[in-house]
Amino acid sequence: MRYLMLICNDETAAAAMSPAEQEQSTARYIDFQQEMGSRGLLEGGARLRPTSDATTVRVVDDEVLTGDGPFAETKEQIGGYYLVDCKDLDEAIEVASKIPHARFGTIEIRPIWEMDMP
């Protein structure tokens, strides 16, 4: 089953990291990606730009409304994601626990609802 793993953390804390801490974080992510890639579980992933670069879109009465940043004010923001293919939720939890930011933030595991696309 495929799962989307949303990496949620306080982006202001990440911005306050020293260069040495950023290097350590990058090294941990490289190690994670290599391990999951070698296990054949990792299908994709990306780091997201900060919420200050986000745009929200809503349609109200056929009018397209846009706004800056996320619609909801939260302490944690989605900073990135991984798409993995695991045998079950237990394996997905094990994989999520190895994402480096699980130590500082939250990893939300969402099963993919597979759809046939035209």
Q: Which pair of structure tokens corresponds to residue 69? A: 């940043």
Average pLDDT, the chain: 91
How far is Cα 28 from Cα 9, in angstroms, rounded to an integer?
Answer: 16
pLDDT of residue 104: 85
DSSP 17-68: --HHHHHHHHHHHHHHHHHHHHTT-EEEEEEPPPGGG-EEEEEETTEEEEEE
Given phi > 0 = left and psi -120 to 50 = alpha, else beta, which region is 57?
Answer: beta
pLDDT of residue 91: 98
What tens digit of pLDDT does each residue of 47-94 get? Answer: 998 888 888 888 999 999 998 876 556 677 899 999 999 999 999 999
Domains within the chain, CATH numbers bracketed: 2-53+72-111 (3.30.70.1060)
pLDDT of residue 10: 85
pLDDT of residue 9: 87
What tens digit of pLDDT does each residue of 92-107 get? Answer: 999 999 999 999 889 9
pLDDT at 29 over 90: yes
pLDDT of residue 73: 63
pLDDT of residue 84: 98
pLDDT of residue 23: 93
pLDDT of residue 71: 57
Amino acid type, 50? P
The residues, ordered by sequence, that sit 6+ positions from 65 with a Cβ below 8 Å of its Cβ are 57, 58, 59
